[in-house]
Amino acid sequence: MQHRTALVTGASSGIGAATARVLAAQGYRVAILARREDRLRTLLAELPAPNEGHHIALVCDLTDPVALESSVRRAGEHFGSLDLLVANAGIGYRARVEDLEPTELRRLLATNVEAVLLGAKAALPWLRRGVRPNMVLVSSVVGRRGMPTMAAYAASKAAVCSIGEALRLEWAPYGIRVSLLNPGVTATEIFERQQNPAGLHDPELDRADPPERVGEAILRLDREPEPERFLRWKWRWLGALSILWPGAADRLLASREWMPPPGHGGAT
């Protein structure tokens, strides 16, 4: 049986770990990449595999371009090619612009933007050898509509949208399909791990999507690539409204409470 091969970045938790589980359950061979080795080892042991070496764990800090290139190469050499690249790794940054800190800003951009570009560059030769090769980029609804207290994070995700749009055309001659996925609030560790210097409230997670839902969407995009997918129609409409009628989108968002003191709930 020919197994599809996938490299999933940011697979030690949240959306990436859920995606690795979804893909492995469908018979994919998965390379899981992140910094936390213990998490990767635990996940690797959980993934269904007919034999040792079916999946591979890659401990890598994506902000180190040399480590990034060699980890992607290890995945390519291990499988012989890559059929799917899921550019998922990312960090949040919850801060008003007046609270931004240059070192954290650079870390955000190195993780969420530079690593996506350099990861794509490193994966290209392996994708070109793949079968029906695809790339899925995990952006965000805030990549299509900047929101208060998220200017830096939203800018990084807007860059991911832009990279996806460029690669869709740039890689078309190679037969590589590129899909953008824009999740809304998803119940993961991203909120507790992100920089939040003013202690602004996290979004309520009781109505958030589970990460498995995003993982299933990534599987569907590998089966049927689409230029851009939102998980909910209201986010697609907000993105469109922000271009066609930005003042109306501003009024809609201004009616929400963005900066209540910590512990008072609120919307994201």
Ligand X SMILES: NC(=O)c1ccc[n+]([C@@H]2O[C@H](COP(=O)([O-])OP(=O)(O)OC[C@H]3O[C@@H](n4cnc5c(N)ncnc54)[C@H](OP(=O)(O)O)[C@@H]3O)[C@@H](O)[C@H]2O)c1
Interface with ligand X, residue 140, by CB under 6 A: yes
Distances in Å between the Cα of 221 and the Cα atoms of 25, 181, 212 are 16, 9, 14
CB atoms within 10 A of CB 59: 17
Does position 88 bind ligand X by CB under 6 A?
yes
Q: What is the DSSP secondary structure assignment for residue 131, as one 8-state letter?
A: S
Q: How many whole angstroms separate alpha carbon 87 and alpha carbon 262?
A: 32
Number of residues near ligand X (by CB under 6 A):
30
Give the tokens for residue 43. Answer: 């996940």
Contact 135, 179 (CB under 8 A): yes
Cβ–Cβ under 8 Å, residues 102 and 52? no
- Our finding on whether 164 is near ligand X (CB under 6 A) is no
Yes or no: say if 18 and 215 are a contact pair by the CB < 8 Å rule: yes
Rounded to a whole number of angstroms, the minimum distance from the CB of residue 26 to ligand X is 20
Q: Does 188 bind ligand X (CB under 6 A)?
A: yes
Q: What is the dihedral of CA 103, 107, 110, 113, to 10 degrees?
A: -110
Task: Identify which range of 28-36, 96-104, 168-176, 245-253 contacts ligand X by CB under 6 A.
Answer: 28-36
Applying CB under 6 A, among 193, 223, 232, 251 the residue interacting with ligand X is 193
38: left (phi over 0), alpha (psi -120 to 50) or beta: alpha
Looking at the Cβ atoms of 36 and 129, the one nearer to ligand X is 36
- Kindly state the helix (H) or strand (E) to which residue 8 belongs, with its residue range: strand 5-9
Scan residues 40-69 and list those touching ligand X (CB under 6 A).
60-63
Task: Kindly tell me which residue out of 111, 149, 179, 195 binds ligand X, with binding defined by CB under 6 A.
Answer: 111
Determine the Cα–Cα distance for residues 155 and 113; give it in Å rounded to an integer: 9
Q: Is 82 in the site for ligand X (CB under 6 A)?
A: no
Task: Decide if 153 is catalytic.
Answer: yes
16 lines the binding site for ligand X (CB under 6 A): yes
Is residue 19 part of the contact set for ligand X (CB under 6 A)?
A: no
Among 6, 89, 155, 218, binds ligand X (CB under 6 A): 89
In the window 208-267, what residues touch ligand X (CB under 6 A)?
A: 211
Our finding on whether 138 is near ligand X (CB under 6 A) is yes
Q: From the centroid of its chain, how far is CA 7?
A: 12
Of 3 and 35, nearer to ligand X (C-beta) is: 35
d(CA 136, CA 219): 9
Q: Which of 84, 122, 176, 190 touches ligand X by CB under 6 A?
A: 190
Nearer residue to ligand X within complex by CB, 91 or 118: 91
Residues near ligand X (CB under 6 A): 10-16, 34-36, 39, 60-63, 88-91, 111, 138, 140, 183, 185-186, 188-190, 193, 211
Task: Just list the catalytic residues.
Answer: 153
